[in-house]
């Protein structure tokens, strides 16, 4: 009697298997890719195309104008002013919020029982919507009705019109921006501080670096390198994107002293309906963000130790 | 170089007592190992000596002067940590130079850019460089002064940590389980290096470890600790040959000591599993006693004056140059009895079969006796020359009379 051997199931041929694997891979990646294209890439491409045209909202026809929008933007005094104001805002907010949050994190880090309380208190501003908070700040800073001025007058100073004085508007908005960012940066720094091994501090103590400043310069600051870099880059990008407070509280005034780049984009696009010009400005905004982020990453990355 | 003295040190964390009343005197140049299981308080004691923890009571004296009020870097101690605690962002050279830069440069000179302007700083740094390079050459790490700790192997990092301690020229070296993170072979090598280093430098060393092999091989004296107390302080020989308690006997020696429960009969005679031993203890009849027998004290073949214990062979661990035989006691299900035999009778060892009944022999002089509290009891009298028949006869006579 001949033995009937059942043939083993045939394994798919190598080429067939490769095709199956690629199909599966593409299948898994497609939804995310489609979303990315629809929400990021496609609008970006549309923006890029628009910036070379003269399209206005509601216009019937559309013509190409080459780089005319770009040269207009670079010579526009309003846009130059917006750029200047945005850079000034970033120059105040980034160092202030990074250093302040670092200081707060170092102070809070060692607390045992009150640490939770301080974390909540400092993080609360992050959880709020800036538009709602902007309205609140408007009240707080009101020259006649606001508590801040009430405190100032009780101390003997004159009333200060924070949001109506051209020289004070941007620093005031910067202070509000710092207020909103400190909690978030503090949480990031707390995570970074927890990652520093405790016996490094003890070794420093035995080596003679027992003064808090010595400990900070020799151990804490160098080992917080990656965290500091991350915090600085994210704070920079967040600060550069300032819009909410300007839109709600000052609307670019008084006399354009709080006009920032994104608000200018908003005005051009949705108030004056120069959509192609707004697209141009958006591209400029993106270019700046990209340049600074890349520069920061490469410049800081060399000095960071992991 | 100075001696170290601890008097009445005690410490608790909250309501948990960690260290009881600790008294310890270490002579100048001595290598003392603090050895014990995890949680016994040895690391806490070391950190109190270093000044990283404050004791609740007691004083620490280094070189005759009390140092309790001094900060760690003022105490002239140097510490080597278990995880090396090297600064990862500094080069090997900078790591080793840090203790000296901290102590010799003033505040302004330590600021990175401002300090570069000071001519005194340049002279001091040159002096520091000479000293650091000398120590690095001693430890054979002078070739990687520019590397970062992340680029070094475990043994090299260990030597950098040692070098950082050595440059300070301290009175006392403190080491907190420095070899725990190394692989077995490197650990053996570093044990020799550390012992040679101690011989060369002649500095007082306090070495914390949970590995009794390290303590036995390197130390001049051991302090065996458990639950916050020093159970015994002595040379390796003293601690091994005359352990002060069951805990010490169990902790020192590998494989661990065999413990056999026995009772004291009339006249202080010890009875093990119904057989009398030719030993008399200063204890009341009827009290429980534990006999400790080191694995190498048990023999497969009888010698003159030996006592015996009946057991069953279970298995053999062949280590090549020696074998560890596992037996279970026939009377009473207690812990297995381990017997260490050498290389002599390999054929006999090969022929052992599991579950075979056999008899193990031991000399009564090789026994350690511990009372019901676990403390060592010295026998009043050991009649080593009595044969088993004489022992039994003597016991019967005692009962009769």
**Of A277, A225, A218, A260, nearest in space to A91 by CA:** A260
- pLDDT-based confidence at B347, cuts 50/70/90? confident
Please give the pLDDT value at position B399: 44
To the nearest whole angstrom, how far is the Cα of A217 from the nearest Cα of chain B? 9
- pLDDT-based confidence at A300, cuts 50/70/90? low
Please give the pLDDT value at position B230: 93
Helices (H), chain A: 14-36, 42-50, 68-75, 77-109, 115-127, 130-140, 147-154, 166-194, 198-207, 212-215, 221-223, 225-240, 244-245, 261-266, 275-301
Contact (CB, 8 A) for B98 and A218: yes
- pLDDT-based confidence at B400, cuts 50/70/90? very low
Task: Give dist(CA A250, CA A164) in Å, integer.
Answer: 8
Please give the pLDDT value at position A226: 87
Q: State mean pLDDT over B197-201.
A: 90
Residue A57 lies in a domain: no
Please give the pLDDT value at position B239: 94
Task: Report the range of poorest mean pLDDT among B44-48, B77-81, B380-384, B389-393.
Answer: B389-393
Please give the pLDDT value at position A27: 94
Q: Which residues of B touch A204 (CB under 8 A)?
A: 87
Q: State mean pLDDT over B353-357.
A: 75
Chain B residue set in contact with A, beta carbons under 8 Å: 47, 50-52, 71-73, 77-79, 81-83, 85-90, 98-99, 102-103, 110, 148, 150, 164, 168
- Mapped onto helix, strand or coil, the DSSP state of residue A65 is coil
Contact (CB, 8 A) for A173 and A246: yes
**Residue where the block lists tokens 């413990």:** B259
Count of A-B CB contacts under 8 Å: 65
Residue B40: count of CB within 10 angstroms of its CB: 25
At A195-239, the pLDDT tens digits run 999 889 999 999 988 888 888 988 999 999 889 988 998 899 899
Helices (H), B25-145: 42-50, 92-104, 107-110, 119-138
Task: Report chain B's mean pLDDT, rounded to a whole number.
Answer: 86
Q: State mean pLDDT over A73-102.
A: 94
Task: Give dist(CA B58, CA B79) in Å, integer.
Answer: 21
Answer whether A207 sits within 8 Å of B52, measured CB to CB: no
- Express as a percent the part of chain A with pLDDT over 90: 58
**Of A224, A209, A250, nearest in space to A303 by CA:** A224
Closest CA in chain B for residue A208? B73
Answer whether B81 sits within 8 Å of A199, measured CB to CB: yes
* Cross-strand partners of B232: B224
Task: Give dist(CA B139, CA B19) in Å, integer.
Answer: 35
Q: pTM above 0.80?
A: no
Please give the pLDDT value at position A6: 60
B363: pLDDT strictly greater than 50:
yes
Q: State mean pLDDT over B73-88.
A: 91
Task: Give dist(CA B4, CA B59) in Å, integer.
Answer: 11
State the DSSP H helix or E strand holding residue B195, giving kind and residue range, or none if neither: helix B184-201
- Mutation site, B49, B76, B85, interface A, largest A CB count within 10 A: B85
Token readout for A40 is 């990021």
A292: pLDDT strictly greater than 90:
no
The sheet carrying B65-66 orders its strands as B16-26, B4-13, B57-62, B65-66
A306: pLDDT strictly greater than 70:
no
Please give the pLDDT value at position B398: 44
Token readout for A21 is 């694997």
Look up the CATH number of the domain holding residue A120: 1.10.3720.10
- Express as a percent the part of chain B with pLDDT over 90: 44
* Cross-strand partners of B293: B258
List chain B domain ranges: 4-246, 256-400
Residue A211 lies in a domain: yes
Contact (CB, 8 A) for B387 and B276: no
Residue A33 lies in a domain: no
B216: pLDDT strictly greater than 80:
yes
Please give the pLDDT value at position A4: 56
- pLDDT-based confidence at A7, cuts 50/70/90? low
Task: Report chain A's mean pLDDT, rounded to a whole number.
Answer: 88
* Structural domain harbouring A172: 76-301
At A246-262, the pLDDT tens digits run 998 898 878 889 999 99
CATH superfamily of B256-400: Nucleic acid-binding proteins (2.40.50.140)
Task: Give dist(CA B377, CA B369) in Å, integer.
Answer: 5
B397: pLDDT strictly greater than 50:
no
Task: Report the range of poorest mean pLDDT among A32-36, A188-192, B298-302.
Answer: B298-302
Please give the pLDDT value at position B181: 87
Closest CA in chain A for residue B167? A207
CATH of B4-246 given 3.40.50.300, 3.60.15.10, 1.10.3720.10, 3.40.50.2300: 3.40.50.300
**Of B21, B17, B234, nearest in space to B6 by CA:** B21
| Number of domains within chain A | 1
SS3 content of chain B, % helix, strand, coil (to 5): 35, 30, 35
At B91-141, the pLDDT tens digits run 999 999 999 988 888 777 777 777 777 788 888 889 999 999 999 998 888
């Amino acid at each position: 009697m001949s033995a009937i051997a059942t043939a083993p199931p045939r394994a798919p041929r190598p080429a067939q298997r490769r095709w199956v694997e690629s199909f599966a891979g593409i299948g898994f990646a497609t939804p995310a890719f489609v979303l990315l294209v629809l929400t990021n890439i496609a609008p970006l491409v549309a923006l890029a195309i628009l910036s070379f045209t003269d399209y206005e909202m509601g216009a019937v026809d559309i013509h190409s104008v080459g780089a005319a929008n770009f040269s207009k933007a670079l010579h526009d005094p309003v846009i130059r002013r917006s750029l200047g104001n945005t850079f000034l805002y970033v120059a105040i907010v980034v160092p202030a919020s990074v250093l302040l949050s670092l200081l707060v994190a170092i102070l809070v880090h060692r607390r045992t029982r009150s640490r939770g309380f301080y974390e909540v208190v400092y993080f609360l501003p992050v959880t709020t919507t800036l538009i709602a908070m902007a309205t609140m700040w408007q009240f707080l800073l009101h020259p006649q009705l606001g508590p801040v001025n009430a405190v100032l007058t009780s101390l003997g100073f004159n009333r200060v019109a924070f949001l109506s004085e051209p020289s004070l508007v941007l620093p005031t908005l910067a202070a509000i921006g710092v207020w909103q960012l400190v909690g978030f940066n503090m949480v990031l720094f707390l995570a970074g501080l927890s990652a520093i091994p405790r016996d490094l501090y003890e070794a420093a103590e035995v080596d003679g670096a027992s003064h808090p400043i010595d400990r900070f310069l020799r151990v804490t600051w160098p080992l917080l390198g990656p965290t500091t870099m991350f915090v600085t880059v994210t704070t920079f990008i967040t600060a550069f994107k300032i819009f909410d407070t300007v839109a709600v509280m000052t609307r670019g005034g008084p006399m354009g002293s709080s006009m920032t780049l994104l608000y200018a984009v908003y005005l051009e696009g949705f108030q004056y309906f120069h959509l192609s010009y707004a697209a141009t400005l958006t591209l400029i905004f993106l270019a700046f963000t990209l340049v600074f982020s890349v520069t920061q990453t490469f410049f800081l990355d060399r000095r960071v130790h992991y | 170089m100075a001696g170290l003295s601890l008097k009445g040190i005690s410490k608790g964390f909250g309501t948990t007592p960690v260290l009881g009343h600790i008294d310890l005197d270490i002579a100048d140049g001595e290598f003392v190992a603090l050895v014990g299981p995890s949680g016994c308080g040895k690391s806490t004691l070391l950190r109190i000596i270093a000044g990283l923890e404050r004791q609740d009571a007691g004083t620490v004296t280094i070189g005759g002067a009390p140092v309790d009020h001094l900060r760690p870097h003022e105490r002239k101690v140097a510490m080597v940590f278990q995880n090396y605690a090297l600064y990862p962002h500094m080069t090997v050279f900078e790591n080793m130079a840090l203790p000296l830069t901290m102590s010799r440069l003033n505040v302004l000179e330590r600021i990175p850019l401002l300090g570069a302007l000071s001519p005194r700083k340049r002279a001091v740094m040159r002096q520091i460089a000479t000293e650091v390079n000398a120590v690095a050459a001693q430890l054979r790490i002078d070739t990687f002064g520019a590397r970062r700790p992340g680029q070094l192997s475990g043994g090299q990092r260990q030597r950098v940590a040692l070098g950082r301690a050595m440059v300070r020229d301290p009175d006392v070296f403190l080491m907190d389980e420095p070899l725990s993170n190394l692989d077995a072979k490197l650990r053996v090598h570093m044990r020799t290096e550390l012992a040679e280093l101690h011989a060369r430098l002649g500095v007082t060393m306090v070495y914390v470890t949970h590995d009794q092999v390290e303590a036995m091989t390197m130390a001049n004296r051991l302090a065996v600790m458990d639950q916050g107390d020093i159970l015994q302080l002595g040379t390796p020989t003293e601690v091994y040959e005359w352990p002060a308690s069951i805990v010490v006997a169990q902790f020192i020696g590998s494989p661990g000591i065999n413990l056999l429960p026995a009772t004291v009969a009339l006249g202080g005679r010890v009875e093990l599993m119904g057989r009398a031993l030719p030993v008399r203890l200063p204890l009341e009849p009827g009290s429980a006693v534990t006999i400790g027998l080191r694995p190498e004290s048990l023999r497969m073949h009888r010698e003159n004056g030996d006592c015996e214990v009946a057991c069953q062979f279970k298995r053999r661990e062949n280590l090549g140059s020696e074998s560890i035989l596992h037996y279970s006691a026939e009377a009473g299900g207690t812990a297995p009895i381990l017997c260490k035999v050498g290389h002599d009778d390999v054929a006999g060892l090969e022929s052992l079969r599991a579950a075979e009944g056999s008899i193990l022999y031991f000399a009564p002089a090789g026994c350690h006796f511990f009372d019901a509290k676990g403390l060592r009891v010295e026998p009043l009298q050991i009649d080593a020359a009595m044969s088993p028949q004489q022992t039994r006869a003597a016991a019967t006579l005692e009962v009769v009379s």
